[in-house]
């Protein structure tokens, strides 16, 4: 059974870069598409984008100019970078399996990690 765990700083300063990593266990990262989703009280659930094992990505147009995703198959990890953050980027960030071609629904999800952007 695939398990996902997010890691990274819980506090990021305004205008800096948010960086998170998702470690996948119980399955091979080469097998699926992998998504990042965030949840905030103001915007609800927002899909950020997906990546696959070969590095193919698709990003939400609302964030595309600031988002980069990468994958490290040797570590069974994928990562998210979001540049020039503001308070509006404060949210719980989830990594998850799915959200890409062929399996567009999302399961399972990581437990989520709260990232707060401070001024």
Partner 1 sequence: EIVMTQSPATVSVSPGKKVTLSCRASQRLARDLAWYQQQPGQAPRLLIYGASTRATGVPARFSGSGFETEFTLTISSLQSEDFAVYFCQQYNSWPLTFGQGTRVEIE
Contact set with partner 1 (CB under 8 A): 35, 44-47, 58, 60-62, 94, 96, 99, 104-112
Q: Report the nearest approach of partner 1 to the CB of residue 61 (Å).
A: 6
Minimum Å gap between C-beta 51 and partner 1 is: 13
How does strand 113-118 pair with strand 11-13?
parallel
Minimum CB separation from partner 1 for residue 13, in Å? 26
Q: How far apart are CA 88 and CA 2, in angstroms?
A: 31
Are 110 and 86 in contact by the 8 Å Cβ rule? The answer is: no
Q: Is the peptide bond before 18 cis (omega within 30 degrees of 0)?
A: no
Q: What's the DSSP call for residue 10?
A: S
Task: Output 15 or 111, the one with its CB closest to partner 1.
Answer: 111
Complex with partner 1: residue 16 or 47, whichever CB lies closer: 47
DSSP state for residue 111 in the 8-state scheme: -
Minimum Å distance from CB 74 to partner 1? 26
Nearer to partner 1, 12 or 99 (CB): 99
């Amino acid at each position: 059974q695939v398990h996902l765990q997010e890691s990274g700083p819980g506090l990021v300063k305004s205008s800096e870069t948010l960086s998170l990593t998702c470690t996948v266990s119980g399955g091979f990262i080469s097998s699926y598409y992998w998504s990042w989703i965030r949840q905030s009280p103001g915007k609800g659930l927002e899909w950020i984008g997906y990546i696959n094992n070969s590095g193919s990505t698709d990003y939400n147009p609302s964030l595309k100019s600031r988002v980069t995703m990468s994958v490290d198959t040797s570590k069974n990890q994928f990562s998210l970078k979001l540049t020039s953050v503001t308070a509006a980027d404060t949210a719980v960030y989830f990594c998850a399996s799915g959200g890409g071609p062929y399996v567009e629904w999302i399961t399972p999800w990581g437990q989520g990690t709260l990232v707060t952007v401070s001024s």
